[in-house]
Amino acid sequence: MATYFAEVTWALKSGEQFNSNRYSRAHTWQFDGGLEVPASSSPHVVPLPMSDATAVDPEEAFIASLSSCHMLWFLSIAARRSFSVLEYRDLAQGTMGKNKNNKMAMLRVELSPQCTFAQERVPSAEELDAMHQEAHDNCYIANSVTTEVICHPRN
């Protein structure tokens, strides 16, 4: 079993009025390797200027973590099956809405991975679908959430 850490920090900026609910939601994520990522609430949730549109928001991070996990599994599966992936790109998209308990939730995440393979060995459509299904079945993040996660490979 492994344990993972992320440090999330926020502080009230000089001149902001916390109790008026007009304060910056900008904050920082720091990961164990030392990387710091600017983060904020989504401007779709908290209007500008109290959010930072240039920072990563939790909803985007959620979608990216699902996409990244799927990609990492897919690459390992392709390598085991002797397919050489030259490039992988995913245009992942998430949809927010009210769930069955009338709570806002990420209701659906659609992955749209597109791969370029070395020309000496290219998987058939069936092999490609099977590799994406295996990646989906093994993705730790997808197995950890109740959100419906859909994969639409774009090859």
Q: Give the separation between CA 154 and CA 111, rounded to whole angstroms.
A: 9
Domain that holds residue 3: 1-56
Domain count, the chain: 2
Could you read off the pLDDT of 13-62 as tens digits, one per residue?
999 999 999 999 999 999 999 999 999 999 999 999 999 999 999 999 99
Read off the CATH number of the domain in which 105 is found: 3.30.300.20
- pTM, two decimals, is 0.91
Cβ atoms of 27 and 40 closer than 8 Å: yes
Residues 28 and 96 occupy one common structural domain: no
**Residue 43, SS3 per DSSP:** coil
The answer to whether the CB of 25 falls within 8 A of the CB of 46 is: yes
Average pLDDT, the chain: 95
- Of the residues 22, 41, 56, which one is the last residue of a structural domain? 56
pLDDT tens profile 64-76: 999 999 999 999 9
In this prediction, residue 109 has a pLDDT band, given cuts at 50, 70 and 90, of very high
DSSP alpha helix (H) spans, 38-113:
58-80
